[in-house]
Amino acid sequence: MGEIYLDNAAATPVDRRVANEMARALKQYGNPSSFNIRGRSAREEVDSARFKIACFLGARAEEIIFTSSGSEANSLAILGLGLKKGEMITTAIEHKSVLKPAERIRAVVVGVDSAGFVKLDELRKAMSEKIKLISVMYANNEIGTIQPIIKIGKLIKEFKKKLEIENCRLKIDGTKPVLFHVDACQAAGFLDMNVNHLGVDLLTFNGSKIYGPRGVGVLYARRGVTLRPLVLGGEQEFGLRAGTENLPAIVGLAEAIKRIDLKETAKISGLCDYFISQLQKRFPEAKINGPIGEHRLSNNVSVSFPDADVERLLLELDKYGIRAGSGSACTSRAVEPSHVLVTIGNEKKYLHALRFSLGRQTTKNEVEYVLGVLEKILLSVPVA
């Protein structure tokens, strides 16, 4: 079969058309901050890419901040607000790039149910006049759970309105509004990313999950949101991130967005459903982690085999040319159980998982081959 790449949630292959655009942009060697003709030409490229990305999000160009990654964008969204201890709410299954900054300010952490959905009643009860930021991941990178972001946004809006009425009654002025941040790195290319539909104030995504380049991320910050830079120096990115812009990566990101195809997304979703149904049929003792159906990210297959040595399974799969993952790429080399699987209440024997994340290039024949290899590895059945 050759190589079967099923680790797209960690990083996707770079689209050929994206690579061509990046190669073209490499010839733009001027510094976008320089006023000579080379610099002005490079600046036009950055501005054009910023405008395209803003259109994708339903935002203004000045609300788009380029970073080096989704992780950096998350840190800027959280730490850039200058929050004090206990002024943030997040969930227990966020990506580490949200949980680590949240630890610094001792954020209030709300729970999730067995499918990974945030407990809305718990979230509502955690809201108080002290809270300045609520951060909830759009789609979970490990188990694919799609959070009800619009519903959460409405809860926050209702809370803000209630707070405004109360402050008015008590004649309190100058209180900061509650901001809503969404880590959408896994959602881009699959779900609605319009920030107005979602009702968010801050949103992050990156290039490496949408067949674009690594080393580039985006933070959308609604006009009026005040942030402090984490990287100091020049005045690039509206004074929020110093350093010469990574022009080829920025241009490549804009091209990757242009190449998002919902028909391909539908094809991936069908293959994913088939993959999950066959896993349930062939391996009745296995556990599919996360929800089944429309509230699951359409390329995510997270499966736990009882008491399985996931590291050994990954090495065995590699021998057959199958490239899979074991949850978050940032923690896949760690031996401790996944914090996500612990949080959703998996039994001890199901605390390690294989994650197969499908991509544009995935075919049904490849899925069938993977199922056969799993049978050979786990059940000693010869590969068909």
Tell me the torsion sign for CA atoms 85, 89, 92, 95: negative
What mean pLDDT value characterizes the chain?
A: 94
Q: Residue 169 pLDDT > 70, yes or no? A: no
Phi, psi of 4 (to 5 degrees): -115, 110
User: CA torsion angle for 137, 353, 72, 227 (degrees, to 10)?
Assistant: 20
Considering the domain delimited by 4-12+261-379, tell me its CATH architecture.
Alpha-Beta Complex (3.90)
pLDDT digits (tens, 9 = 90+) for 250-290: 999 999 999 999 888 999 999 999 999 999 999 999 999 99
Residue 133 forms beta bridges with which residues? 88, 179
Q: Are 338 and 142 in contact (CB under 8 A)?
A: yes
Q: Please, what is the Cα angle at 188 between 318 and 92, to 5 degrees?
A: 75
Q: Residue 381 pLDDT > 50, yes or no? A: no
pLDDT band at 330 (very low <50, low <70, confident <90, very high): low
Q: Are 136 and 91 in contact (CB under 8 A)?
A: yes
Asked, colleague to colleague, whether 4-12+261-379 and 16-258 share their fold, the answer is: no
Q: How far apart are CA 329 and CA 73, in angstroms?
A: 17
pLDDT at 361: 95
Q: Measured between alpha carbons, how far is residue 382 from residues 320, 369, 371, 379 in Å?
A: 13, 11, 11, 9
Which residue ranges make up each domain of the chain?
Answer: 4-12+261-379, 16-258
Alpha-helix runs per DSSP H in 7-92: 16-26, 37-57, 70-79
Q: How far apart are CA 276 and CA 354, in angstroms?
A: 12
Q: Tell the residue number behind the tokens 């996500």, with chain if given.
A: 340
pLDDT at 342: 97
pLDDT digits (tens, 9 = 90+) for 216-225: 999 999 999 9
pLDDT at 177: 80
**Residues classed as catalytic:** 330
Q: How far apart are CA 137 and CA 226, in angstroms?
A: 21
- The CATH number that domain 16-258 falls under is 3.40.640.10
Q: Which letter does DSSP use for residue 218 in this model?
A: E
pLDDT digits (tens, 9 = 90+) for 33-80: 999 999 999 999 999 999 999 999 999 999 999 999 999 999 999 999
Q: How far apart are CA 307 and CA 285, in angstroms?
A: 11
pLDDT digits (tens, 9 = 90+) for 9-36: 999 999 999 999 999 999 999 999 999 9
Phi, psi of 221 (to 5 degrees): -125, 110
Q: Which letter does DSSP use for residue 13 in this model?
A: P
